[in-house]
Structure formats: C-alpha cells, structure tokens
Amino acid sequence: MTADDMLKNIDTSLYANRWIAVVHERVVGVGLTAAQAHRAAMQIRAKDKPHLFFVDETGQVNRPSTSPPQIESWLNQHPLLPTVRQILQRHHLEAYLVGGAVRDLLLAREKIIDLDMAGPQNGLTAAKIVANALGAAYYPLDSERGTGRVVYELDTPTGVEKNHLDIATFRGPTLATDLADRDFTINAIALRLSDPPELIDPLQGQHDLRLGIVRAAAETTFVHDPIRILRAVRQASELNFAIEPHTEQLLQAAVTELPTVSPERQRDELLKLLNSPQPGAALHRLHRLAVLPHLLPEVAALVGVTQSPPHHLDVFDHTTKALTVWAGWVQAGFPPLPTELRAGLEMYLAERVAGELTIQTLLPLAILLHDTGKALTRQEEQTTDGSRIRFLGHEQKSAEIAQAVLHRFRLSGQATSFVKTVVAQHMRPLSLAQAGKVSRRAIYRFYRDCQARGTAAGVAVVLHAWVDHLATYPDNEGEAAGQTLQTVVKTLLTAYFSRPAEMIDPPPLLTGHDLITMLNLTEGPLIGMLLDRLKEAQATGQVNNKAQAVAFIEADPDFSQYRDNNA
C-alpha cells in the first residue's frame, strides 16, 4: 500500500505540526515527535507496525522520493561503495548506509569523506570481511557495541587521502529501532545499497532537512547521551539550521547532565563546534540555552564585562565576534594579505601540533580563551574625561585560565602549550604597532618568544592579533583603524615565510663544540647563553660569517669575564 493510499481518507489538516502514526488508513497515534506518535500507537495497536508521517503547518504530508536520481548517480560514482555493495552481497551480509553521509548526500554537500554503515549482523565481523576483500586496514572501533573500522586510501589531486568506513551492529533488533535510537531525525535516515538504492526514513528526517531544522529523534535524546547537547548546537552551526523549539526544551532540561560526559568527548565536540562555519553564533546559542556554565564557566563569566572604547562590545560578545571574524577570514582566503603569503599560511595552518590536531584546529580555541582573564583583572579608573576600564596583565591571567581549562579537557601537553602561548602573547603585535617601526631585533625576539614546545606559534599569534583587532571595532571599521597594525602583520608574516633563515632561525655559524675547542670554554650554561646571543646577532644582520661570529663572542662581556677569571 502506498503512502497516498494510507492517507487518502485522513483529514491531515487536523494534525498540523504533529506526527501521526497510521495503521490501515487510520490515525492511531499523534505526537509532537515521531517517538511520541509511535508510543501512542503501540498502546492501542501493539501488534501492528504503524507508518509515521509529519504533517506540516499547512496540513500537508511531505512524501519525498525513496530514491532521488542524484543518490543512485553518487552511489555508482563513489570510489568505494559499489565494491563494498558487491562484497556484502557475495557474503550474504545486510548493511545500510546511515548517519551523516546520508544527510550530507541529501543536502548535496560537496565532500562526503567518512562513511557509516549498520546491519543486523556483527559489525566487527562485517568490517573485517570488507577490509580483507579490499586489502584495507581494519581495527575494532568499539568492541562492546560491535563496531569495526575499515581504513582505506584514495588517490586525490593533492595526494593519497586516508578515509574510513565504520560498520556497526544495529542498536536493537531491527533497522527501525536503530534509527529511532539515533540523535536527530536528520541523522536517522538510512540508504539501502540495493539496485536501485532505497531511502528509509521513518522519522521524516528529509522533511526536517527541507525545513532546515535539527529535531531530536526521541524525547530521551539528550538524557540518553548528553554530549548530544553540544552536537545539536554544532550541527545547527555546520548546516546553518535552526534547532526546533521542542528540541531546545529537551536540551535545556538535560543540560545539568553535560558534566557527566567524559572530558575527552566534551573537548572533541567543542573543537568541532569552534571549527564550524559559524562558531560565534554557536557560542551565542550555547549561552542562550544556558549550556555555557556547565561547559565553560570561564567563558560564561565574560557576559556583561564591559570595556572602554575603542571596544564596542562586552568581552563575551567581543570573543564571539572574534571567532566569527576568524571563520570568515579563513573562508575568504585571508584578504588583504598578498597572494604569496596566503599559500604559506595554508601550509602553516595544516601543520600538526599533536596527533591529528592542527594549528588551524587549535587556533579558534585560543581565540575563545584569549580574554578570559578580563573577568578577574577588570579595573575602572576615574579620569578627567570620565572613567576608563583597564585589564592590566589580563593576557597572562588568560593564559593561566587557558591552561586550567585545557587540562580539564585532557588536551595534550603539546597542544596546551601551543594554545597557552598564543593567549599569553596575543598583545605583542599590537605593542609592536604602537612602538612604531618594527626592527629586525624585535622580529627575531617575537618569534623566539612564541615557541611552544617546538611548535612555532608566532604566526598564529599574528593571525590572532589581526582578528582580535577587527572584532574590537564595528563591522567595516576595523581595517581602516588598523593600518599600522596591518603593516606589522605583513612585516612579521613576510619575515616568517620569505626570510626565515635570515631573520628568524639563521643557521649556526658556531657550535658549542667550536666554543670549547676554539675559545677554550668549558661545558656549562655560558655556552648556551653565548650561542643564543650570537643567533640574535645573526638575525639582526650584525654578524654574517664565521670570523665575525668569533669576534662577536670574544667581545661579549660575559666571555671576557670568563676568560679573565680563568687566565
């Protein structure tokens, strides 16, 4: 029986903005969510399988195609899935494509990388069979839940790219129970890899995709797993969707459970949220939904902390604007920087700091935390022109807070050092701009002081400073007000990307062994001190060859004192 047959005798206008459960052309359950309608139906028709429909505000039921043409085309052109389908059929295995890949396919998003599948058989076994047939790597992702991962490589124009396919065991006895247990309706759509492929959408996720909303798949969505609180906000930001009002109510009711989630899972969702297309809006949504005090009380404390001009926003709104500016700047390709600097920036941002965490992934975290110390350092002074608000030492206090926050989220020491360094040094470029001309010595010392356990954080500090500046002013006013800072930004970046061996990290003209053999020094801290001074002299252009290096060391007061003491 088709959907039209089931609904032909039902006046759906009576159920606007409701879910209905239909059995034998009769409505047997109604609810605000699919789960409510299904539950109501089961109370009176427990032995029947109801069909769920969402009735929109006009009283119409949207019935999307079960196999839009673009799906079959995408599936046939995918570099892996046609082969996977054959492997599954050959071994009599049943599996459905589920989750974000199906959602993104229906939204026609450009790049769908990682894939998730689910089936009635053990996912570990299915994943191992697929991996062996493909000659790909396999490992158990979650043995308790029966999920295996296939890691495969694809040749791309930029090189070999590693992707993964996860195959899970159904969450329950059937596909329907599996989909009902997922977080949001837009993620509860399955694609049967049949010929032709078939979409299975019992919770009307396609309808919500068209409406542009994130809707909880069940009343217990957030109670069942509170990390979904952050995921709802993050996915709304990624997709530019709204969160459905009743879902917001469910989210707020469960928000006190968020601290029960492991710090690692909170951290991972936070990083994804901060790297979404609209991180500032996402942070505002976290504040509006009263999530921030349970996730980042240090950031929640910034709400209402006012600042003096040229700031036009309180510290919290300034922070959210800085995140928005950063995301927009990245998407625009870093104007007004010269083209030759942009290529270097892309490579720099892709550098890994710790594990899979890149500089680009971590920099928004530094932006988020860069002014957290202002809530604790705010001072209001009376002047002849009125009052002035100051935050003396806020960058160091912010760095201390950042370290504590990142320790709480179990971020690695290397990544923490990077973020802390950016926060601690974020005022340096502005100070250089206020000082006037930037000398070679100032450039060298800036990059020297911005080392974070071997990771060069200086460029990140420069980028942060420009974003921070733009967020200080109303839209379209920051660039005109920051011409001097813009010059400093270009000067610092040019030194790093165009003249690094000359101005930032010159090759050593002398080694510690040279100082011992040529100048009769003994091992000790003086050697390191002299080599550091020599390196700075090279970077400033004072020393250019080995003979000058020896003369520089011999003229050093500490070397002279050492020689006199050991004469």
State pLDDT tens for residues 172-218: 889 989 999 999 999 999 999 887 788 999 998 999 998 899 999 99
C-alpha neighbours within 13 Å on the C-beta side of residue 78: 24
User: Which of 425, 417, 276 minimizes the C-alpha distance to 354?
Assistant: 417
Q: Give ranges for CATH 1.10.3210 in the chain.
A: 297-503
Write down the pLDDT at residue 64. 45
The listed CATH number (1.20.120, 1.10.3210, 3.40.630, 3.30.70) that belongs to domain 297-503: 1.10.3210
3-class SS string, 365-388: HHHHHCCCCHHHHCEEEEECCEEE
Range with the lowest mean pLDDT among 4-13, 233-242, 484-493, 504-513? 4-13
Q: Are 457 and 447 in contact (CB under 8 A)?
A: no
How many other C-beta atoms are found inside a 10 Å radius of the C-beta of residue 543? 23
Q: How far apart are CA 58 and CA 403, in angstroms?
A: 53
pLDDT, tens only, 337-380: 888 899 899 999 999 999 999 999 999 999 999 999 999 999 99
Tokens found for residue 198: 């078939």
Write down the pLDDT at residue 60. 81
Query: pLDDT band for position 383 (50/70/90)?
Result: confident
Average pLDDT value for residue range 401-414: 98
Residues 6+ apart with CB under 8 A from 246: 32, 33, 215, 216
Q: Which class in CATH covers the domain with range 69-219? A: alpha beta
Look up residue 195 and give its DSSP letter.
S
pLDDT, tens only, 245-257: 999 999 999 999 9
pLDDT over 70, % of the chain: 96
pLDDT, tens only, 421-476: 999 999 999 999 999 889 999 999 999 999 998 899 999 999 999 999 999 999 98
> Using CB atoms within 10 A of its CB, is residue 540 exposed (0-12), middle (13-18) or buried (19+)?
middle
398's enclosing H/E stretch is helix 394-408
Q: Per-residue pLDDT for 279 more than 60? A: yes
Q: Give ranges for CATH 3.30.460.10 in the chain.
A: 69-219
Q: How far apart are CA 28 and CA 48, in angstroms?
A: 10
Q: Are 215 and 184 in contact (CB under 8 A)?
A: yes
